[in-house]
Each structure stands twice: as structure tokens, then as C-alpha cells.
Structure 1
Amino acid sequence: MSLLEPSVQELVWAWLMRQRSPHTGAAYGRDLREWLAFCNQFDLDPLSVDVGHGDVYARSLQVRGLSARSAARKLAAVSSWYGYLVRRRVIKANEFGGANRPETNRKESSTVSLTESEARAMVYAAANDHGWQRLRTAAIIPFMLSVGPRVAEVTTLTHASLGYEHGMQTVRIVGKGEKIRTRQIPPEAMEVLSAYLVGRGFAQGPLFATAAGRPMLAGDITDLVKRVARQAGLHRPERVTPHALRHTFATLAIERGASLDEVSEALGHESTDTTKIYVHALRRLENDPSVKVAKVLW
């Protein structure tokens, strides 16, 4: 197959259009394009592959240096497409589903979590940003740290997402699977958010906008977070991502007495098992036996 057959292209679009979340659809689309490019490179018919081809593709992802979690996610996305093709009776069985997937440790997360002092340093650096984007920076960093949304959720927020219920400022977040959760915006975060909204001079459209007025993209927010991390003088600022701010929200909330169920609901997790990943690394480090041994040595 030197080119992607029109029938395959139609099946790709049909599957992607079934995804309720545009962010999920976009992620699946990227993963599937990579797999189809792999098929094209080795002249494979995507509708006739077997488990061996899946094993080779899994190995190629590892050779590229992808983490086990990222590789497993990509393989799961492709397998989901083949599962859809089975239901459509385009193919008889999902041979790809049997491919070897890298083992992942569900108790570990590669995402960093900031300490209280580091989180405060981020808020301080954001408040002291410069240029036209100063008010926006001063608003978005504390908003993400104190509310803990996914970066994809932030990009879809509009002014209409804001509300006021039971005497509290709120934000309506549309999460994975189009599931909606209403979160309280702390007064401190709302104060800087209001200053930003007043300063930019218009009350409609995206909540966090570029100079051109379009919604900030995930890449825009990632660049901003890393820049503020550098300005805050954090160690290895390149590791501080929007997801690190979400991770920080979870760990700080639990450290300050929030229950696992409360944090899980706030994050929009389907299960507390996902939330546990956020806090396990912190507790593992805090309880590391090395501290007990060091007390003997020094």
C-alpha cells in the first residue's frame, strides 16, 4: 500500500467522529495516523495485519524512546479502532489487540509535583510577569494550581463557563466524555481572574485568549507554564508542565486534609485509583527507609 485507501480513510473518520470529546478524538487521530504511517512505510494493509505486526510496532515505539505509559496508550488507541472495525464487521477479529504492550506501573507517575514553596513561587512569578500578557499570566497560573483542571479543559473554557452559586464563584468544566463538573474558584484566584477579564476589555469568547482573541491552545499554555517556572527559579523548569500543576493541586489538597474521594471528584477521575497515582510517589518518598538509616549514620 503506497497510499492510504479511501475506504480506510472513511473508516478512520467514522471512528473518530464517534468520540464524544473533541480532545479524545484529536489524540486518537494522532495515534492512528502514526500507526497508518507505519503501515504505509512497510507496505502493510491496515485491514490485514496480525499480532506480529502489532508486536513490531510496539517495539518501534520503544526504540523511539517513548515511555511505557505513552506507548501503551498509543497501542490501546489503535486497538480500539480495530475493535470498532470488528463491530462494523469490516474485519473478523482484532488481531492487533493481542500485541505485546509495555508494562506500566500504575502506582508511579512521571509527572513532577511542586512543593508548597515552589507553588507559591510560581504564583509570585506569574503576578510579576511583564508585557501585555501580565494580567493573563497572573490569572491562569493560580487558577490552574488552585482548581486543578486538565490543560485541554482550560482551552475550552469561555466567559460563559463562569458562574455564581450558593454565594461562591464557580467554573463549569467540560471534561472527558463531555462530563460536566462545577468547581468553586477560590476568592484569591477569582480576584486576579477578574482583574484580567476587566483589563482585557471584553466579556465574551474564550476565558484565556491570545492577543488575537483566539483561545489559547495546549501548546500556548505549556510554553507559558514553563516560562513562569523559569522565572520562578524552579529546579529543572522544563519538567514543569500544565499537568504538573494539576498534580500539585492533588497532592497539596490531600496534604491539607482533603479526602481522596473529594480530590478524585474535583479532578474528574472515573476512579480513585487514578487519583492514588498522584499521591503515591509523594508518600513513597516521605516514607523512604533511607531517612531512618541516615539517622544512624549521622
Structure 2
Amino acid sequence: MTAELAIVEQDGRLSLPFDLPPLVLDLTRAWLWSYGANTREAYERNIRRWFDFCAQSGLDPLEARKPHGDVFSRWFVETARRPPKPKTVAQVLSSVSSWYDYLHEAEAIEANRFKKTKRPKIPRKHSETIALTKAEAQALLRAADADRGRERLRTAALVRLLLQVGVRVSEVVDAQIDDLGFARGYRTLRVTAKGKKPLIRRLPVETTHALDVYLSERARLEGVELRDLRGPLLATSSGRPWDRSKAFELVQRIARQAGIESKVSPHALRHTYASLAEEAGATMREIQLDLGHADVSTTEIYVHSRDRLEKDTSQLVASVLE
């Protein structure tokens, strides 16, 4: 773990604004490590926000009650550098409640009294991520294929994986060359989805070709046979794993080169995959399995976020008023 809570110790004590019993510290480490890297990072960041609030309020976090959680919610909104979205506030409160649930299940506390803290209401099918249109997606692929520089082949492979397979950027960054395989005559990629769940995805011919060209060139530069190439599926020029933030910057740059005005992120390409799959006739269940969602309602959010603009009835109202 990279964050201070579980790694950085000063004089044998963890770097926290107050003391916690050794048992609670051990349980906190176990709680964080029960999640994947991305969730773990987010949960640790959120629990530290709660600890900061407790320190400023003179509150022992093990004595917290619902009113403290309600005040914390307002404190978080008012002290943020920019007003957080309701979904962000809800996620922070959910993280803290999850910590208390874990302590309660381990019998370190009598009950999770934080659980009833008021949380912002989030529409069930709400998402602020907007999918690309088919034309925009095609333009993005062309821009990726036409990219320049020594890493242009990696660019083409990344964008096709995100757009044509719909994998999470973290899944691409964490994937290894050994995760490529074959099954029933199809080229496949094994990724680790949320909850550390293994997921085997079939790769389209176009994606496979982009990967093969990239990996062949990489093997040539490293002076090895393609079959002997090892390491991250997509690597830096030095062969190290790629950083998610760099992938985010690359997608934004390619989107600008494609002439796409809206904000484009790797997650928007995952939404695009879901939306284009639905438009092409895939069932919601099929898309759910592709994306590795535990609940189909999550998948519906991805498709709904794309439909809401195309199906906005404002055009119908405007037409009857002309």
C-alpha cells in the first residue's frame, strides 16, 4: 500500500492526528487490503478526511454518532476547494460507514452508529459521464491510428482496448502480456475486474491487430523474439507499467486531435462501448457480463447516460411552438 495509513510510521506509530487502539489499526489495515488498489486508495483518502474532521472537532472516532456524521457531511462540503458533487459526498460517507461496518463485524465496536448519517440523494440512473456518438468514436479511432511519435503504436492499442472492448483503464494498465491468450479459436485478454474478479474478454480482430503490431515493434526494440516478450501489456519506453494519469492525458489529447469538443476520459469510452453495443442490438445482460458489473442496474446507468441527450424531448416541445 502506498498511502501513509498503512505504510508510513514515525517512532513506531502510524502517522495519524490521534491515537487509535492497536486492534483498530490492524483492522483498518485489513479493511483497506480487502479491496482492490483503486478502491483501497479512494477509501483511505476518504477515511483520512473523516479523521481530519474528528481531530479538528476533538472527537474520538470510536465514539461517533449519527449527528457527528451529519456535521461531517456539511464540513466536507464547506471546506472543499470546490463544491463537491452529491455523488462525491455520498461516496465519502459510504467509505466511512464501511469502515465502521468492518469494525463492528470484527466486534471492535458495539454498532455502526454512523450508518444512519444523511446522504445526498442520487438518482438511480444518473451519470455525468456522456458517451461519444458513433461518428465521434470513429473519429477517435482514426486519430489514434494517425498519432505520431515513438509511442504511436501503443496509443492505437490503448484506444482500441478502451473503446472496442470496454475495459477499465486500470484493467489495461494492470494487464500483463501473459494475460493474452486463446480460447475456442478466439484471441482473449484476461483482466482483473472490480472485487479482484477475473474476467476473460474476447478481442476483436482490429484490437488484436493493433496489439500485435505494438508488441512486435516492442520486441524488436528490446531485441527479443515476440514469444519471449514479458512484462506489462502496455509499457513505458523503459518497460515499466503505465500510469493511469498518463493514459487519461493521452485519451484527452487524441480526442482533441479528433476534433471532439466534449471532455473525453477513458471512462467515457467505457460508456461509449456500452451505448454502442446496445444500439447494435446487444442485450443489457450481455453488456453487463462484458463490463463485469455485479448488478445490471449499473450497466443501465452507462446506457442511460448516452440516451438522455438523444431522447431529450426539448426538440419536440420546440417544434410544436414554432
Specify the TM-score bucket, using the shorter chain as the normaliser: over 0.9
Partner of 1:87: 105
Counterpart of 1:105 in 2: which secondary structure? Answer: coil
TM-score (normalised: structure 2)? 0.86
* Unaligned segments of structure 1, at least 5 residues: none
Contact 2:130 / 2:305 at 8 angstroms: preserved in 1?
no
2:68 corresponds to 1:53: yes
**Number of aligned residues:** 295
Superposed CA deviations along residues 30-56 of structure 1, whole A, max 9, x for unmatched, are 221222122223332221111111111
Contact 2:177 / 2:233 at 8 angstroms: preserved in 1?
yes
Q: CA deviation at 1:241?
A: 0.9
Contact 1:32 / 1:77 at 8 angstroms: preserved in 2?
yes
Contact 1:171 / 1:182 at 8 angstroms: preserved in 2?
yes
Contact 1:54 / 1:99 at 8 angstroms: preserved in 2?
yes
Contact 1:62 / 1:68 at 8 angstroms: preserved in 2?
no
* Residue pairs, 1:29-68, within 5 angstroms: 29-63=44-78, 64=80, 65-68=83-86
Q: CA deviation at 1:6?
A: 5.0
- Once residues 141 and 283 of structure 1 are traced to their aligned partners in structure 2, the CA distance between those partners, rounded to angstroms, is 23
Partner of 2:319: 295
- Once residues 312 and 20 of structure 2 are traced to their aligned partners in structure 1, the CA distance between those partners, rounded to angstroms, is 56
Q: RMSD between aligned alpha carbons?
A: 1.8
Partner of 1:4: 18
Partner of 2:240: 214
Counterpart of 1:213 in 2: which secondary structure? Answer: coil
- Once residues 97 and 292 of structure 2 are traced to their aligned partners in structure 1, the CA distance between those partners, rounded to angstroms, is 25
- Once residues 212 and 60 of structure 1 are traced to their aligned partners in structure 2, the CA distance between those partners, rounded to angstroms, is 44
Counterpart of 2:181 in 1: which secondary structure? Answer: strand
- Once residues 77 and 272 of structure 2 are traced to their aligned partners in structure 1, the CA distance between those partners, rounded to angstroms, is 29
The residue type paired with residue 221 of structure 1 is: A
- Once residues 273 and 97 of structure 1 are traced to their aligned partners in structure 2, the CA distance between those partners, rounded to angstroms, is 23
The residue type paired with residue 5 of structure 1 is: D
The residue type paired with residue 61 of structure 1 is: F
* Residue pairs, 1:167-182, within 5 angstroms: 167-182=185-200
Contact 2:129 / 2:305 at 8 angstroms: preserved in 1?
no
Q: CA deviation at 1:73?
A: 1.3
- Once residues 61 and 45 of structure 1 are traced to their aligned partners in structure 2, the CA distance between those partners, rounded to angstroms, is 18
Partner of 2:156: 138
* Residue pairs, 1:105-254, within 5 angstroms: 105-201=123-219, 203-236=229-262, 239-254=263-278
- Once residues 83 and 6 of structure 1 are traced to their aligned partners in structure 2, the CA distance between those partners, rounded to angstroms, is 17
Counterpart of 1:180 in 2: which secondary structure? Answer: strand
The residue type paired with residue 233 of structure 1 is: G
Q: CA deviation at 1:199?
A: 1.2
Q: CA deviation at 1:87?
A: 1.8
Deviates more, 1:276-285 or 1:161-170: 276-285
* Unaligned segments of structure 2, at least 5 residues: 1-15, 223-228
Contact 2:173 / 2:241 at 8 angstroms: preserved in 1?
yes
Contact 2:93 / 2:119 at 8 angstroms: preserved in 1?
yes
- Once residues 313 and 261 of structure 2 are traced to their aligned partners in structure 1, the CA distance between those partners, rounded to angstroms, is 25
The structure-2 alpha-carbon separation of the partners of 1:6 and 1:212, relative to structure 1 and needing over 3 Å to count, comes to: farther
Counterpart of 1:97 in 2: which secondary structure? Answer: coil
Contact 1:253 / 1:263 at 8 angstroms: preserved in 2?
yes
